[in-house]
A and B are shown apart, each in its own frame.
Chain A
């Protein structure tokens, strides 16, 4: 696969938080993250998805995109975006934002944000806007730093605080437990299963 004898997988994502999450998931299934493409928003990702799919005919790829309110379910969005994915492509949709996946590990997130665990929604995938919810949770934090960094700043016209992405990246890298979160977020469970399957295929000696 690669010069270093590791199983490397390329990825395409919407933004920097998604990047941190996908890196964790790739590591979680025993693969090594290669170059991470995109990071310029959802529309940009959609425009380039055919190219990524083409590249996935030669090497393993994973694409992660938020469902948001673009479709009723993940399947509908996947079919609308890419009707014929390459076998080595793991095209996953987070319901409805990747923040829901992070929220699904309530224990560590509550500790990181400095809020009581029962404030974190039980069914994060049911949230219409998990990003807004995350910023709202941060607003209730005991820590001023978390509030200043992550909560929406009035007058900013911006859904989140100034250091929101880097805080979530910090959480995703250091504290978040994908296996625990998967029990509370079905789209995450499926994403991990898909990556595991891809990983198993790649590790077969016949390849």
Chain B
């Protein structure tokens, strides 16, 4: 299954995005705080929603924290996704919710359609008879989601990754979390993977890393005396037999690249990456779009990422329909595909690389003022 369209209303930075076409690969660009992460968070929200509506909202600080600042007071938050499944099945999922003071968040609407036929339209008579039912989606309940369980399974398969190297090195800080998006349980995840799969993935990661780090000879999972898993790598060295280093000594870039490569091989659902360029050499960053394009051709999974990197955007295989520009304004952030911008198309026709056409549109107008920050 794949996302095809998404519409967000009153969701964080977005008062109303309108219908946004979602291609197989998505590059989100925009100034700082324009809502790139919050756009990705809409997908994570759907992921969380498949487990628990209440928790999905609570984890984000409640409806008040989710609602767009530009929204009218107390207006509902709405997400609407259109998806394409196997054999061309067209799915629609829509959810709207709100929250009264001192009350748990309540659904205002939950709607599911398959090929234009309504499968679910809430609130229904049962909900009206017992409003407490509106504290849960049908999506999260196995006993009522049978007709659209594929949808719930698909949402649950969405993966988000933003590896924070410090958390990988000190997993204690995120103890007990599984699939921690910041990499706190990354080593646990690697350790839990069946050995043959793990070996084969680490082998591929080693081969890929050797391009960036030629001294690297081996990578393996290793448990210390207390049984705690570590990744360690063997580096070619002036000592004849090389030297082993564990993740504690890996560079930030090595850890982040390992995390990205692992995530690309792990799972089937959409993969969300937050600024994958961080800590990486521009020469490596430049190749990421190609790596993702080829990985996704093989696996069919969608990849959505946010970026500030000209090196990443300069890849000549990136289509204008794959780039979403987030442009903040008084009425919240506007979302436009690069292809809808005639000026961008003109700049490209005139020979500008994609990044040169796009990055200036997303740069803060007064950035130069920042230089004066420490002046009296």
Contact = CB atoms under 8 A, between A and B. Distances in A.
Nearest to A149: B297
Given A149-B297, A162-B293, A163-B297, A41 B319 contact: no
A145 B297 contact: yes
A160 interface: yes
B320 A156 contact: yes
11 contacts: A40-B314, A43-B351, A156-B320, A157-B338, A162-B289, A162-B297, A162-B319, A163-B293, A165-B290, A166-B294, A166-B317
A165 B289 CA distance: 10
Nearest to A157: B320
Contacts of B338: 157
A165 B321 contact: no
Interface in B314-369: 314-322, 338-339, 345, 348, 351-353, 356
B286 interface: yes
Q: Is the interface of A mostly helix, strand, loop or mixed?
A: loop
Contact of B294 (A15, A39, A158, A163): A163
Interface in A130-175: 145, 148-149, 153, 155-166
Given A145-B297, A162-B297, 17 more contacts: A15-B316, A16-B286, A43-B352, A153-B319, A157-B320, A157-B348, A158-B316, A161-B317, A162-B289, A162-B317, A163-B290, A163-B294, A163-B297, A165-B316, A166-B293, A166-B294, A166-B317
Interface of A: 15-16, 39-43, 145, 148-149, 153, 155-166
B351 A163 contact: no
Contacts of B351: 41-43
| 5 smallest beta-carbon distances between A and B, as pairs | A156-B319, A157-B320, A166-B290, A162-B293, A163-B293
Given A40-B353, A41-B353, A163-B294, A157 B314 contact: no
Which among A39, A43, A161, A165 has the highest number of chain B CB atoms within 10 Å? Answer: A165
Given A163-B293, A166-B294, A158 B319 contact: yes
Interface in B271-320: 286-287, 289-291, 293-294, 297, 314-320
Interface of B: 25, 286-287, 289-291, 293-294, 297, 314-322, 338-339, 345, 348, 351-353, 356
Given A39-B286, A42-B351, A157-B339, A149 B293 contact: yes
A165 B315 contact: yes
A165 B345 contact: no
Contacts of B291: 166
A157 B297 contact: no
Nearest to B320: A157
B319 A157 contact: yes
A42 B289 CA distance: 21
A158 B289 CA distance: 14
Contacts of A145: 297
B294 A156 contact: no
A161 B297 CA distance: 12
B329 to A, nearest CB: 25
B303 to A, nearest CB: 11
B319 A155 contact: yes
A158 B353 contact: no
Contacts of A158: 316-320
Nearest to B25: A162
B261 to A, nearest CB: 15
Contacts of A155: 319, 321, 339
A69 B25 CA distance: 32
A134 to B, nearest CB: 12
A54 B148 CA distance: 66
Nearest to B297: A148
Contacts of A156: 319-322, 339
Nearest to B318: A158
Contacts of A159: 316
B214 to A, nearest CB: 14
Q: Which of A156, A158, A162 is packed against the most chain B CB atoms within 10 Å?
A: A162
Nearest to B319: A156
Nearest to A43: B351
B348 A163 contact: no
A160 B317 contact: yes
A206 B291 CA distance: 46
Nearest to B344: A157
Contact of A164 (B25, B316, B321, B353): B316
Nearest to B315: A165
Contacts of A43: 351-352
A42 B294 CA distance: 26
A89 to B, nearest CB: 23
Contact of B318 (A15, A41, A162, A166): A162
Contacts of B356: 41
A159 B348 CA distance: 11
Given A157-B345, A157-B348, A164 B339 contact: no
A158 B318 CA distance: 7
Contacts of A164: 316-317
Given A157-B345, A157-B348, A163 B317 contact: yes
Contacts of A162: 25, 289, 293, 297, 317-319
